[in-house]
Structure 1
Amino acid sequence: MAGTPTQTRPPKRRRWPRRVLLTLLVVLVLLVGYGTALYFWADSRLRTTQALTDYDGRPADGKGTDWLLVGSDSRADLTPEQRKELHVGNDTGLNTDTIMVLHHGDNGPYLISIPRDSYVTIPGHGKNKINAAFALGGAPLLTRTVEQATGLRIDHYAEVNFLGLVNVVDALGGVTLCVADGGLHDEKSGADFDAGCQEMDGVQALQYARARYSDPRGDLGRVERQRQLVDAIADKALSPSVLIPPWKLIPFLSASLDALTVDEGTGIGSLATMGRDMSRLAATTTVPVASEPYVSGVGDVVLWNDSEAEQLFAALRDDTAIPTFDGN
C-alpha cells in the first residue's frame, strides 16, 4: 500500500531583522522629533539684551571666539527671605560678582577670571573698579570696558544672577566641590565648610563661590572658587545622567534659561557650544596681578601686571597657547 505523502510546510520567514529595523527607525524618528521640539522650545525662552555695540576704536576680530561671562549681584528680584537665606544683604546697587572670559578656537578652551576690583578705565567715567561699569551702564558699558582693557573683541555675552545660579545647581541635584585644607568659614557669605570634597546644594554653592572676607587672598581666592563652581556645573550638566533622561534634562534646561540673559546674536546652538567648551577646559587662570593698593575714593583695588597681562591677552587674540605665570 502506497504511503500517504507527507506534506511539508514552507519554513517561516525570519522577520526579526525587519522588526528590529522598524523599531530602530521609530526610535530615531522619536529622538529627532524630541530633539527638534526641545531646540525650538529652548530657543523661544532665551532672554536677550543688547550687550555688544560698535564704537570707534573697537578691537578687531581676533582668532577664535571670546565669550564674556558675568555673574550679576542684583538683589532686585529677591524677597527679604531669599536675601537672608543667600546672605547677599540689601545692597540696591547693580554690580558684577563674577567676570570671566571664555576663549575657544584651535587652542583652548581657556577660562580667564578678571578680578572684579581690577582698576581700569571705564569709557566716559574715568578710572574705577571694573565691576562699576555694570552699575554705570549695564551690559553694553561692561562689555566695552572689558574690550578696551584687554584688547579682545567680545563675540558673545552671557549673564546669570544670584537666584538663577542657585536654581541651576538645585536642578542638577547639587554639585561636588572640594574645599581646601583649613576649610572655608565666612560669616558674610554664609560659607561654613570643612576641608574635603563634598556635595553642595544651590545655596551652599553660592556661599562657597562668594566667600572672600575670610580668605587671605580676598578676591583672588574667590575667583578661583568661582571657576571651580563653573567647572563642576558644566561637568555634571553634560553627564549622561542629566542629558539622557528627559525628567532630568528639561528641569535643568528650564532653570538655566530662566537664569540666563545673552546678547541678541546668541542662540541655543552657540550656548550648546559654550557648554561643551566649559566641560573640557584646557586651562584656567586669572589676569596676572601686580599689586592690590588702596585708592582714595575707590577703596582696595587690583592692579594688573601690565606686561604679563598683555602676553595673556595677545595669546587669546592670536588663538595661541596661553602663557603661565608664577602665582597663577
Structure 2
Amino acid sequence: MKPGRIPAIMLVQFIGVACLLPAAATAHVRWFVEAGSAPAPVPYRLSDPAVWAWALIAMALVATAVVLDRKLPAFAVPKTKVRHDVMELMRILTGMSLLLTAYDGSLIAPHLEAVGGFGLALVLLQAGIGLLLLSNHAPHYAAILLLLLFLGMSIHFGFVLTVEYVNIVGIALFILFNALPDPGLSDRLKPYSVDVLRIFTGLSLIILGVAEKLHPAALGQVFIADYAWNFMPLLGFDWFDDRMFVLSAGVMEVVFGTILVLGVVTRLNILAVAVFMLTSNIVFLIEGRNEEALLELIGHLPIIATALILLVLGSGQRLKVTPRRLNVLSIGAYPKAEGWA
C-alpha cells in the first residue's frame, strides 16, 4: 500500500461510523454574536445617498488599483529558499488552525460548532487533515480531503453559510497543485496555484462583506453595538453612526476582495487586509477580551499564511487582469513554485 493511503482510508472509515450516530440541529456563532440574537436589521435602500456615495468610492478605488498596477515597478521574486519557506508556513499554519479548531469541536472557523454524528465525522476528518499537513505526510491527500471537508460543511451548515469560507478551497487547491506526485500534471497545474489561492481568497472577502455587513447587516450592527468599535464619533464625525460604520466596512471588504480577484496591486492589497486583521486582534487584546482574540487568531492562521504567500509571490503566473487586457496572461519571467517532497 502506498504511503499516505492508510491515513486516508482511516479518515473515511471514521466518517462512515460517525454518520451512523444521531444528528442534532446546527448551531453556531458568527461575528462573536449569538445566532438569533440579532434584531431585525434596518437595511439601506439602493436609493440612499450613502449607498450611492460608497458605490462610487468603491468603483474609484478598484479603477485606481487597476491603473496603479500598471505604473508600479515589478518586484523581484525572492530566492528559492524563501519561496519554499512561505509554502511550508502555509502547510503548517493551516494544519495548526484545523487541528486547534477541531479540538474545540468546530469546523474551519472557531465559531462554526459541529453537532450530531455527521458533525463529529467532519471534526475527525478535519483533525486528520491537520495532522497530515503538520506531519507533511501525503499533503496531496490532505488537500483532497480538505475539499471533501468543505463539501461536508456545505451539507452540515448549508451552502450559503459555508461559501463564506470558500478561501479554504483556494488553500486546498494551492497545496494540491504544489504536491501532486505526477510530474507532468504538477508542471501543468503549479503555475495556477497562486492564482487560485488569490481568487478564492478574494471571493471569500466579497461574500463575507455582502453576507455579514451589507445584506442584511444585522450581525455587523449588533457586533458594533456590543463591542463599541465605531471610533468615528470620537474623531468628530457624529453623523457616522454604527449603521454607516458597518456599511463602510462591508464596502471596503468587497473592494479588497474584488482587487484580489482581479490580481492587481496584490501585495499592497493583501498587506492592507493583513493590517486590518491584525488591528482587530490588537483591539480585542486592548479591551481585555483575550478569548475572542485567541479565537480570531486561530481562525485567521490560514489567512495569515495566504497573506504571506501573496506578499512573497505576488498575484500569480496566469490569471490576472491588467489595464491593457482582460484575459488570461502568462508571465513568463515568473519562476515556478516549488512543491513539497
TM-score by length of 2: 0.27
TM-score by length of 1: 0.28
Larger proportion of strand = 1
Rg (Cα) greater in structure: 1
Larger proportion of helix = 2
